[in-house]
Structure 1
Amino acid sequence: MRHGDRVDNSEPMWIATARRPWDPPLAESGRIRAFCTGRKLRERLDFPIHRVFVSPFLRCIQTASEVISALCAVEDNNIEMTSENVPIDPSKLKVSFEYGLCEVLSSEAISSDLTPKDGNWDFDISKLEEMLPAGTVDHSAERVYQELPKWEESLMDARARYRQVIQTLADKYPHENLLFVTHGEGVGIAVSSFMKDVTVYEVEYCGYAHTRRAITFKDEQTFTSCKFEVSTMGSESGISYCPTSALAMDV
């Protein structure tokens, strides 16, 4: 899932006084969209989400918090539009940070004028964990990427990173259904990596890709799996894509 609406898009002057201009929070509309998307997933999915992995960027953390609250709500109250005052059951799922799900760290995604001058992105994980619903954080989960990628990674490297994280964590937790809260490029890869001859050209805020695979267990630790297949259509998930061959013809 991509994060919700970011505040610097709805309030352009936000950057002028921001302490962390490279890390905008959600706009209020983004909080609402995230919570409502979580509620929609709860209603539509025929399986539970067991574990959530989230990018350390603030907009993704806030999105994950809203989605988790909707998924774990004790009662499905259709009146509520955000997580505020919504009681939850934190035992329903666990959440962890994953550096490999972070934004593409290059000037293609983040203006060089906005990046930290000392190169320190200043993600304090202990403080960020406090923003997530109480009782849901899993401190024991080991990250695929132990640190952030280097600045000015290529788009190709970033896409390979997203692909690796998805595959590695799926293999690490084969008994569980996972939700990744990340950025638009990461969601696009979740489609283009598993659909033949497809190019993703737009991912809306809170757009999501649903992939699944068949797994055969030999025992608790050993299994074989088929390739992932994308089972969510773009029209209902906020993702727009087309055949790569058609795109090439247009060019």
Structure 2
Amino acid sequence: MESSSLESQATQQRHQNVVVMRHGDRMDNFEPLWVTTAARPWDPPLVEAGLVRAFCTGRKIRNQLGFPIHRVFVSPFLRCVQTASQVVSALCALHDDPNNLTADNVAIDPSKIKVSVEYGLCEMLNSQAIRSGLSPKDGKWGFNISELEAILPAGTVDNTVEPVYKELPQWEESVASARARYANIFQALADKYPKENLLLVTHGEGVGVAVSTFLKDTTVYEVDYCAYTELRRSIFEKDQSFTAGNFEVLTHNAKTGIRFASTPVTDDIDEIL
């Protein structure tokens, strides 16, 4: 009986894939004076090169990963929402025209993917990640979810999804707390949608956590713009319930812009933010 039960369970095994991606090239790293006149200096948009990088990365994900993305979750920071918009357009494009470098004038099938904003994927809310003196003085970050959803491709937004994190973390969350938050949100979203492959658009620290959490004794020291890691786990379905294996990190991360060491390094990472 035990052997038969195991065989039955094995026939229902499949894999869930979760791609964790950093946003594209942020304005304040290329236009230093932008912050002096910006209404929201803590929330830079992408530069044009960032839009191009995001769209081309979306095309790469579509053509090279070998599995479809069903659902996308994105940090509420503008650079992440703009990145997600470009990536989703590339993933949903009706025609893969190599001459298209951004989502402008790209026809899509919005039924392929659903997108939602998730506070749990936000930037570390501390002075290590938000540059000195740039956080809102009144403590109000001013994220308007409806306005952010309007940036995403028409027909792709699923605003019926109940977010895992109902609000932003408190200002000056510790690095340890932020890293725990990232690890928790990755697991929570995967468990919430075990039958779907997910793309999570977040920040450099989040991508680093996705690697270091699931790849033992690893320290990430650099994450490029639009770099991503692939996580995969086994799902065993039986009746209306499921059990899941542990996530594994696919080991070609260096090819997608993530560099890490198998022996821990002592310095905290701030360049990936």
TM-score scaled by length of structure 2:
0.89
1:172 is aligned to: 192
Q: Pairwise mapping of residues 39-188 of structure 1 onto structure 2 (< 5 A)?
A: 39-188=59-208
Work out whether residues 68 and 133 of structure 1, in 8 Å CA contact, stay in contact via their aligned partners in 2: yes
The 4+ residue runs of structure 1 with deviation greater than 3 A are none
1:25 is aligned to: 45
1:154-210 superposed Cα distances (whole Å, 9 cap, x missing partner): 000000000000000100100000000000000001100000110001100000010
- Identical-residue share of aligned pairs (%): 65
The CA distance in 1 between the partners of 2:198 and 2:71, in whole Å, is: 5
Work out whether residues 211 and 232 of structure 1, in 8 Å CA contact, stay in contact via their aligned partners in 2: no
Q: Pairwise mapping of residues 214-225 of structure 1 onto structure 2 (< 5 A)?
A: 214-220=234-240, 222-225=241-244
Size of the aligned set, in residue pairs, is 246
Q: Residue 236 in 1 paired to residue 255 in 2?
A: yes
Compare the two structures and name the one with the higher strand fraction.
2
The CA distance in 2 between the partners of 1:232 and 1:93, in whole Å, is: 26
1:193-251 superposed Cα distances (whole Å, 9 cap, x missing partner): 0001100011000000100001100123x111110001141221100000135x36xxx
The CA distance in 2 between the partners of 1:148 and 1:177, in whole Å, is: 25
The CA distance in 2 between the partners of 1:175 and 1:112, in whole Å, is: 42
The CA distance in 1 between the partners of 2:254 and 2:148, in whole Å, is: 33
The CA distance in 2 between the partners of 1:164 and 1:73, in whole Å, is: 32
Q: CA RMSD in A?
A: 0.9
Q: Pairwise mapping of residues 186-225 of structure 1 onto structure 2 (< 5 A)?
A: 186-220=206-240, 222-225=241-244
- What is the letter of the counterpart of residue 250 of structure 2? S
The CA distance in 1 between the partners of 2:245 and 2:94, in whole Å, is: 35
The CA distance in 2 between the partners of 1:110 and 1:47, in whole Å, is: 35
Deviation at 1:16, TM superposition (A): 1.0
1:6-41 superposed Cα distances (whole Å, 9 cap, x missing partner): 011111111111010000000000000000000000
TM-score scaled by length of structure 1:
0.96
Deviation at 1:112, TM superposition (A): 3.7
Task: Name the SS for the 2:219 alignment partner.
Answer: strand
Task: Name the SS for the 2:53 alignment partner.
Answer: helix
Residues 31 and 232 from structure 1, CA distance in 2 versus in 1: closer, same or farther, beyond 3 angstroms? farther
Task: Name the SS for the 1:244 alignment partner.
Answer: coil
Which blocks of at least 5 consecutive residues in structure 1 are unaligned?
Answer: none
Q: Residue 37 in 1 paired to residue 43 in 2?
A: no
Which blocks of at least 5 consecutive residues in structure 2 are unaligned?
Answer: 1-20, 267-273
Higher relative contact order, chain-length normalized (CA < 8 Å, sep 6+)? 2
The CA distance in 1 between the partners of 2:24 and 2:181, in whole Å, is: 22
Instruction: Name the larger-Rg structure.
Output: 2
Deviation at 1:111, TM superposition (A): 2.0
